C-alpha cells in the first residue's frame, strides 16, 4: 500500500484542465465508448506498450484516469476490425453456400458486397489515430526525412479498411470460400 501512496504523492491535486483539452478528451471518449471486449485473454495493460511508459506511470495513469486516449482508440480500432472481419467471413461463407454451383455469380455478388461495405466508423478512428498518435506518445522526429521515427520497428500509421482489404482477406474465390464454410460446419 505504501508503494501506491508514493506513486500518488507526486501528483498535483486540483489540476485544472483547459476547456480545449476537455473537449478533446470528450471526443475521444465518444469515439471509443462502446463496451469493452469481454475476451478474458486480453487486458487493458495489453494496450499500453511498456517500452514507452515506465511501470510507475502506467499504474498511476490507470488508477487515476484509465488508459490514455491513444490506447483506448487502438483497442477500439482492433475490436471494430475484428467484428467487421467476423461479419464479412460469415457473409462470405453464406454466399458461397448459396452460390455453390455458380462461381461467376458468387464472384460478382461478393465484389458488390465488398464495394458496399461501410467502414466509416473504424476508418474515422484510424484517421484520428494517424493524426494524433505521434504527438500523444511523443514520437521523435527524424530530421533527415522530416517524419516521425518508426514505432516498435514499424510505421505507426494504419491503413484504412476498404474494398481491397476485404477482397485480399476474403477473395472472390468460390472454392476457397466453400472450403472455409464447409470446414466451419464440421468443426
Task: Report pLDDT digits (tens) over 148-167.
Answer: 887 777 888 999 999 999 99
C-alpha distances in Å from residue 30, one per residue of 35, 36, 52, 155: 11, 13, 25, 26
Task: Report pLDDT digits (tens) over 47-79.
Answer: 545 556 677 877 776 777 777 888 899 999 999
pTM confidence score: 0.65
> Considering the chain, what is the average pLDDT of its residues?
78
Q: Where are the beta strands (DSSP E) in 5-160?
A: 141-142, 147-148
pLDDT exceeds cutoff 80 at 171: yes
Does 33 or 93 have the greater pLDDT score? 93
Closest CA to 146 of 132, 134, 159: 134
Amino acid at each position: 500500500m505504501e508503494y501506491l501512496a508514493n506513486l500518488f504523492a507526486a501528483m498535483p491535486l486540483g489540476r485544472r484542465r483547459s476547456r480545449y483539452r476537455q473537449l478533446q478528451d470528450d471526443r475521444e471518449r465518444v469515439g471509443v465508448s462502446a463496451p469493452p471486449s469481454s475476451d478474458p485473454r486480453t487486458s487493458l495493460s495489453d494496450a499500453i506498450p511498456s517500452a514507452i511508459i515506465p511501470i510507475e506511470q502506467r499504474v498511476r495513469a490507470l488508477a487515476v484516469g484509465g488508459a490514455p486516449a491513444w490506447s483506448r482508440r487502438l483497442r477500439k480500432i482492433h475490436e471494430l476490425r475484428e467484428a467487421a472481419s467476423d461479419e464479412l467471413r460469415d457473409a462470405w461463407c453464406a454466399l458461397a453456400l448459396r452460390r455453390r454451383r455458380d462461381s461467376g455469380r458468387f464472384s460478382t455478388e461478393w465484389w458488390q458486397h465488398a464495394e458496399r461495405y461501410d467502414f466509416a466508423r473504424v476508418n474515422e478512428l484510424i484517421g484520428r489515430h494517424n493524426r494524433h498518435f505521434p504527438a500523444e506518445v511523443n514520437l521523435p522526429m527524424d530530421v533527415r526525412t522530416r517524419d516521425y521515427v518508426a514505432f516498435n520497428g514499424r510505421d505507426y500509421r494504419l491503413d484504412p479498411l476498404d474494398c481491397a482489404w476485404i477482397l485480399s482477406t476474403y477473395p472472390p474465390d468460390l472454392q476457397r470460400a466453400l472450403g472455409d464454410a464447409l470446414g466451419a460446419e464440421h468443426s
